[in-house]
Structure 1
Amino acid sequence: MTTQSQDRVAMLASMLLIRAYEERAIALRAAGSFPGICSSLGQEAAAVGVVGALTSDDKILTNHRSAGHLLARGADAGRMMAESMGRSTGYCKGRSGFLHISAAELGVVLTSTIVGGELSLATGVALAKQMRNEPGLVACFFGDGAACEGIFHESLNLAAVWQLPVLYVCENNQWQAYVHRTETMLGDPITEWARGYGMRSKAVDGNDVEAVRAATLEAVACIRDSGKPYLLELNTYRQRGHLEPDVPPVSPERERWMLTDPIARMEQRMLHAGEIDAAGLAELRQQADAAIDAAIAFASDSPFPDPAELTADVYAD
């Protein structure tokens, strides 16, 4: 198997793991045994393509649709499930829940449910790196809804003026909570807004994992060479409603986007190239399902936090 084929298999396996994780979380939520979640189903290529192009020196700040980013970074699915279920074995000892997971050992600084909240903090994290002369850059994930917030413009302006090593990643999934993006923003694409600050930017097919990976590698190289920020706009589609168990809207737009599902596209590409067959695809799916089965079992068997630790990690000693 060629290196390219191995890379494709690895990217597909990662996307399948993310899909399996979210599908099981959605099913658990529907059964009433899981908290409300904001799914990123359909956006797997964006997570895998970007995160796979980063190094261990790079920091990540993400938003309320963070499961894909965490798993692509190598997060343990069991600890993520445990955190979502409020168990002590979770990444934040059961205190953050599904929507606020951070994993310092993976360089994931935070998950913010405040729309655009990670944008304000990414500038500070990048400034700290610059002042300490630390290697690496800061990757900040946000949606098209956050791009309508004032903090988006403040963050980009400061990063451009101070020449900070920030990779801004806009996952433009066409929907802002319950409102379509065309109802809240004039002009397309968002990359033009970044260029207004003298920042390099590029719009990419966010449902093509290889296109995302190539564009991210190019952007990352530019940031490392210049020390200046860069914005990627990944055009993708949110296949579920805003908050589970919301029913996703049915429309001709959704039907068109479903034809470009990132996993199905990658599978067809690999089948056509003879890099995998139906049995190989089935095996990858079985491996992903088995990993999530184990994750749920681990989380379900984990204890809840001791009430005596209620204020632990809340107040400084």
Structure 2
Amino acid sequence: MPKAPEPLDFSKEQELSAFREMLLIRRFEEKAGQLYGMGFIGGFCHLYIGQEAVVVGMQMNLKEGDQVITGYRDHGHMLATGMEARGVMAELTGRRGGYSKGKGGSMHMFSKEKNFYGGHGIVGAQVPLGTGLAFANRYRGNDNVSLTYFGDGAANQGQVYESFNMASLWKLPVVFIIENNRYAMGTAVTRSSAETNFSHRGISFKIPGIQVDGMDVRAVAAAGEMAVEWCRSGKGPIILEMLTYRYRGHSMSDPAKYRSKDEVQKMRSEHDPIEQVRQRLLDKKWASEDELKAVDKDVRDIVADAADFAQSDPEPDVSELYTDILL
């Protein structure tokens, strides 16, 4: 098994970029939570608050043509790939300007332009699809990589291991990223998994895996750099277990009574991914408090604009019920 590399030593530009990208996801998700509470967002809504370092750190290593696919906790992944906040928020509220024309909602949207192949509502369904994207890369003879995200709960699904077997057998360029936020839908990993070190889940398929501090964007970026290079060089798949944590419940309807408030507060105060970057920027005098507040204001303005658009944009015409249907 390869060892996790040391966290990257970020430049000033990398720290500032990571700060802004993670803050955009945090503020977007906070606003989505508000809109859900106000009744503008219906159905399910799964927030990414606390896990921002994972997708931002991984995205630093991608090039044009690399693909991203994930489950239904997907808003952060969309924003990290460069999808517009307006389009994502409008999809959450079921409006015409949404990425799936208002027909997919929180759990189902994609962008062919950004090579984001979806949030998927079926637990674990994205894993064989992400493996298929990697097969397409191999078939076409390019050196693109598929980043396939799933959680600790999905890691117990059977289709995951069928995908592992094929990916290893055919040496497919796929990075399996397990976002271990400890609780799946509400059951602690210690109560649901015989092997709680998810980086070991590929051993019987000869897939190497490493554990990564998913709360430190520098550690994620370093592991992502290694994993993407592993795939591009033809060595086949690799597993990255991101040790992360979500501050909110599984979905907006989950009161999260299966863990203590003290546990959540401890993670927030000691391991928050955004606060870590903020503190480094201040300590190194790469940014002042006022400059970071200005970044936050800019991000809040983007999110406020997206929320306004998502509440005023028209709903889809009734005729949309009959489009995009495959028989």
Quickly name the TM-score band, shorter chain normalised: over 0.9
**Any conservation in 1 of the 2:54–2:217 contact (CA below 8 Å)?**
yes
Cα distance in structure 2, aligned partners of 1:187 and 1:315: 40
**Any conservation in 2 of the 1:30–1:245 contact (CA below 8 Å)?**
no
For 1:142-161, what aligned pairs fall within 5 Å after superposition?
142-161=150-169
Which residue matches 1:98? Answer: 106
Cα deviations by residue, 1:215-255 (Å, 9 ceiling, x for unpaired): 10111111111241111111000110111043334524333
| SS of the residue 2:205 aligns to | coil
Higher mean C-alpha displacement, 241-250 vs 140-149: 241-250
Which residue matches 1:308? Answer: 319
Which residue matches 2:5? Answer: none
| SS of the residue 1:127 aligns to | helix
Aligned counterpart in structure 2 of residue 120 of structure 1, from 108, 128, 132: 128
Which residue matches 2:265? Answer: 255
**Any conservation in 2 of the 1:26–1:245 contact (CA below 8 Å)?**
no
Aligned counterpart in structure 1 of residue 18 of structure 2, from 1, 6, 11: 11
Structure 2 letter corresponding to 1:187: E
Q: Does 1:135 align with 2:135?
A: no
Cα distance in structure 1, aligned partners of 2:164 and 2:121: 20
1:111 offset after TM fit, Å? Answer: 1.2
Structure 2 letter corresponding to 1:54: L
> What stretches of structure 2 of length at least 5 have no aligned partner?
1-8
| SS of the residue 2:100 aligns to | coil
For 1:126-205, what aligned pairs fall within 5 Å after superposition?
126-205=134-213
Cα distance in structure 2, aligned partners of 1:85 and 1:19: 18
Cα distance in structure 2, aligned partners of 1:3 and 1:46: 16
Aligned counterpart in structure 1 of residue 293 of structure 2, from 268, 282, 293: 282
Cα distance in structure 2, aligned partners of 1:33 and 1:89: 15
1:3 offset after TM fit, Å? Answer: 7.8
1:16 offset after TM fit, Å? Answer: 0.3
**Any conservation in 1 of the 2:180–2:241 contact (CA below 8 Å)?**
yes
1:186 offset after TM fit, Å? Answer: 2.0
Cα distance in structure 2, aligned partners of 1:217 and 1:17: 23
**Any conservation in 2 of the 1:126–1:138 contact (CA below 8 Å)?**
yes
Cα distance in structure 2, aligned partners of 1:4 and 1:200: 30
Cα deviations by residue, 1:49-93 (Å, 9 ceiling, x for unpaired): 112211121011111111111101101000001111111111111
Which residue matches 2:277? Answer: 266
Which residue matches 2:39? Answer: 32
Cα distance in structure 1, aligned partners of 2:23 and 2:173: 31
Superposition TM-score, scaled by structure 1 size: 0.95
RMSD, matched Cα: 1.6
**Any conservation in 1 of the 2:40–2:311 contact (CA below 8 Å)?**
no
Cα distance in structure 2, aligned partners of 1:218 and 1:315: 40
Cα distance in structure 2, aligned partners of 1:135 and 1:299: 38
Cα deviations by residue, 1:24-59 (Å, 9 ceiling, x for unpaired): 000111122222301111000001011221112101
Cα distance in structure 1, aligned partners of 2:211 and 2:244: 11
Cα distance in structure 2, aligned partners of 1:292 and 1:253: 29
Cα deviations by residue, 1:86-134 (Å, 9 ceiling, x for unpaired): 1111111111111111111100112111110001211222112211223
In percent, how many aligned pairs have the same letter? 34
| SS of the residue 1:140 aligns to | strand
Q: Does 1:297 align with 2:308?
A: yes
Cα deviations by residue, 1:149-175 (Å, 9 ceiling, x for unpaired): 111111111100111000111110001
Higher mean C-alpha displacement, 293-302 vs 84-93: 293-302
Cα distance in structure 1, aligned partners of 2:13 and 2:134: 33
1:187 offset after TM fit, Å? Answer: 2.5
Which residue matches 2:6? Answer: none
1:308 offset after TM fit, Å? Answer: 1.7
- Number of residue pairs aligned between Structure 1 and Structure 2: 315
Structure 2 letter corresponding to 1:192: H
Higher mean C-alpha displacement, 14-23 vs 80-89: 80-89
Cα distance in structure 2, aligned partners of 1:297 and 1:157: 46
Cα distance in structure 2, aligned partners of 1:95 and 1:295: 18
1:301 offset after TM fit, Å? Answer: 2.4
Cα distance in structure 2, aligned partners of 1:24 and 1:245: 16
**Any conservation in 2 of the 1:239–1:248 contact (CA below 8 Å)?**
no
- Distance of aligned partners of 1:262 and 1:122 in 2 relative to their CA distance in 1, 3 Å threshold: same
Structure 1 letter corresponding to 2:308: A
